[in-house]
Amino acid sequence: MHKTRRTLLKMLVASIGCSALLQLVPMAAWAAEPEKEELKLGFIKLTDMAPLAIAYEKGFFEDEGLYVTLEAQANWKVLLDRVIDGELDGAHMLSGQPIGATIGFGTKADIITAFTMDLNGNAITMSNAIWEQMKSNVPMADGKPVHPIKADALKPVIEQLNASGRSFNLGMVFPVSTHNYELRYWLAAGGIHPGYYAPKKGDISGQIDAQALLSVTPPPQMPSTMEAGTIHGYSVGEPWNQQAVFKGIGVPVVADYAIRKNMSEKVFGVSKAWAEANPETHKRLVKALIRAGKWLDEDNNANRQEAVEILSRPEYVGADAKVIANSMTGTFEFEKGDKREVPDFNVFFRYNATYPLYVDCIVK
């Protein structure tokens, strides 16, 4: 068993006396002790769980007197339910999950956040077959598509499918996710009806009057679900768009940075009851995560390649390092070979990224 800092300080006092100790020990060491030192935190296998991995690997949690276990979760619903039930002390969450849970969308519970994990980081990908049909509708320059690509190019493809009695199916990760909002906004801007929700009528499918049918698929399963033909495309975070490029099964057509710049993407969420019972522990968790976010962005992303190697490990994201690096290190690949500079594809600290703004609640 590890000794707490309180125990160590008591031993030090006994051996050298209080007056000498005051000269030797920084005042910060006398701060309140964490109510809970051993913690289990959940995450989904996505690049933007990086602050948790970095805080763990760089010892930032231990610097705060916290001993953390990080545990991958099957999907966003399971993750949220385990935070609500107390099986997890906190977790990497979709920005919309604390709001959704609090108002009773799905499982009702008071969930709060004091830390935004990142901005941006998503894209919309289409299967090769759909992209080939879209491509003739996309403006070109120097032999390459002009970006950002609008959903206008997709509309005739969907109309042709619908006219033949076939549905056009897209995956997104959760109803209260930015992926869902961004995908719906992009489709609607191109004249494609993404469907209505009608919770008061008992219909939360989001598919009423839809020309494109959106449904939930867990992030790591997006590429295989599209490859199987169940969906024609998807909106998801990295590395699962770049995975489609590397596997040669799809083409990212637009990054969320071009839909809404610097949108809050993930947060660190805990239950309100947990936060009230563990205020010092919560504060220390946030401090460690802020340090991790700063490390990820400092010196113009100088640490990103090291972060890529960490994230590629099976206990974290578990994707090939080359796939993760394709978006994590300041570039993003659309069609195979069409790699473009996107330095802010992932933002962890710049632009006050870690601060959970009220405006982020409004846009959700």
| pLDDT the model gives residue 24 | 46
> Average of pLDDT values for 118-125?
98
Does pTM top 0.85 for this prediction? yes
pLDDT, tens digit, 9 for 90 and up, residues 158-210: 999 999 999 999 999 999 999 999 999 999 999 999 999 998 898 989 999 99
Q: Looking at per-residue confidence, does 5 or 254 come out higher? A: 254
**Is pLDDT above 80 for 73?**
yes
pLDDT for the residue 10: 46
- Percent pLDDT > 70 in the chain is 90
- Domains of the chain in start order, with CATH, are 5-17+33-121+263-323+344-363 (3.40.190.10), 125-258 (3.40.190.10)
pLDDT in tens, 40-63: 999 999 999 999 999 999 999 999
Beta bridge mates, 94 = 266
